[in-house]
A = this chain, B = another copy of it.
């Protein structure tokens, strides 16, 4: 059994708890959160809750870090130094290589494994992108997100003075171009025009086609569904017009959490060091004996 602790009880953390409980080869040995209240998740009644991972009665093999991206470098290194392997969902594409180098050092120094940038993009999409590149080395891959809620854009819109609450939907227009549909509650004492102007001036929105729509209640619009459409049209050797396509329509935090649990399993199957998902054999993400999996899946 792989002993896992889930760190963080936001959307992804709550799904990671549920998903860990559903896996036959995983034992949830603790949840790390500063909130004292009951988790309200079926099956967690006897799971230890602690503020610090080193306070758990049973030392986990892997810490699944469902925490804000910016907290990952410090928290992951702390876990590795405590002799616990880590999985994170760090999602700032441009900074993954640096984080990988930092965690690789800490992981090797402690004989542990760090799996970084897990989830679906970066994550499972990265695996598909890499496979497409191998199958047709020349050409273009487009990753089209949505329709679905963008956490980053929603937070950016909500931060404006004239906005009380916001939800930003990402709408794929093809060839990696996206429309932003921003639903807002206007702050009392402000106008819709002020809110719209503030949002459209933000760097998150000024490069894309953005529509701002005032509504009475943002909560009525929330839906964790998301999706992706990846397409590569490329060349295999001398052969043009090779078309490969990957689509998903999924619950966003549930899939993120599932890829993180799968990555935790994979962590127990790698040599010490830090890995992104494209650096791990896909068979290592799946429960079961390798020879059985080869028989069933190849």
Residues of B with C-beta under 8 A to A70? none
Indicate whether A236 sits within 8 Å of B248 (C-beta atoms), given known contacts A278-B293, A290-B279, A298-B126: no
- The interface-forming segment of A59-67, A196-204, A239-247 is A239-247
Q: Which of B21, B128, B254, B298 contacts A276 (CB 8 A)?
A: B298
User: Does residue A189 face the partner (Cβ distance < 8 Å to B)?
Assistant: no
- B interface footprint on A222-247 (CB within 8 Å = 1, 0 otherwise): 00000000000000111101111111
Scoring A93, A96, A124, A131 by chain B CB atoms within 10 A of each residue's CB, the highest score goes to A131
Min CB–CB distance A219 → chain B (angstroms): 20
Given A238-B22, A277-B298, A293 and B130 touching (CB < 8 A)?
yes
- Give the copy number: 2
Residue from A246, A258, A282 whose CB has the most chain B CB atoms within 10 Å: A282
CB pair B283 A281 closer than 8 Å: no
- Which of B21, B124, B243 is A250 in contact with, Cβ under 8 Å? B243
Report the minimal beta-carbon distance from A293 to chain B, rounded to whole angstroms: 7
**Contact present for A282 and B23 (CB under 8 Å):** no
A117 CB–B CB distance under 8 Å: yes
Q: By the criterion CB–CB under 8 Å, are A297 and B246 in contact?
A: no
Instruction: Find out whether the CB atom of A259 lies under 8 angstroms from the CB atom of B135.
Output: yes
Instruction: Decide: A236 and B255 in contact? CB cutoff 8 A.
Output: yes
**Contact of A249 with B by CB under 8 A:** yes
A260 to chain B, nearest CB (A): 11
Q: What is the minimal beta-carbon distance from A61 to any residue of chain B, in angstroms?
A: 18
The verdict on A84 contacting chain B, using a C-beta distance below 8 Å, is no
Q: Number of A residues contacting the other chain (C-beta, 8 Å)?
A: 66
**A286 contacts B by Cβ under 8 Å:** yes
Given A131-B285, A247-B244; A278-B258 close (CB under 8 Å): no
Pick the contact of A18: B237, B276, B278 (CB < 8 A).
B237
A122 within 8 A of B: yes
CB neighbours (8 Å) of A237 from chain B are 15, 18-23, 254, 257-258, 261
**Does residue A68 face the partner (Cβ distance < 8 Å to B)?**
no
Q: Is the CB of B287 within 8 A of A278?
A: no
22 contacting pairs across A/B (C-beta < 8 A): A15-B236, A15-B239, A18-B237, A19-B236, A20-B237, A22-B238, A126-B297, A128-B131, A128-B246, A131-B285, A134-B259, A134-B285, A135-B262, A137-B286, A237-B257, A242-B250, A244-B246, A244-B247, A246-B246, A276-B298, A278-B298, A281-B281
| List of 10 A-B pairs having minimum Cβ-Cβ separation, nearest first | A19-B237, A239-B254, A134-B285, A236-B258, A245-B247, A130-B282, A134-B262, A278-B283, A126-B298, A22-B237
By a beta-carbon cutoff of 8 Å, the part of chain A in contact with chain B is: 15, 18-23, 93, 96-97, 100, 117, 120, 122, 124, 126-131, 133-137, 236-239, 241-251, 254-255, 257-259, 261-262, 276-283, 285-287, 290-291, 293-295, 297-298
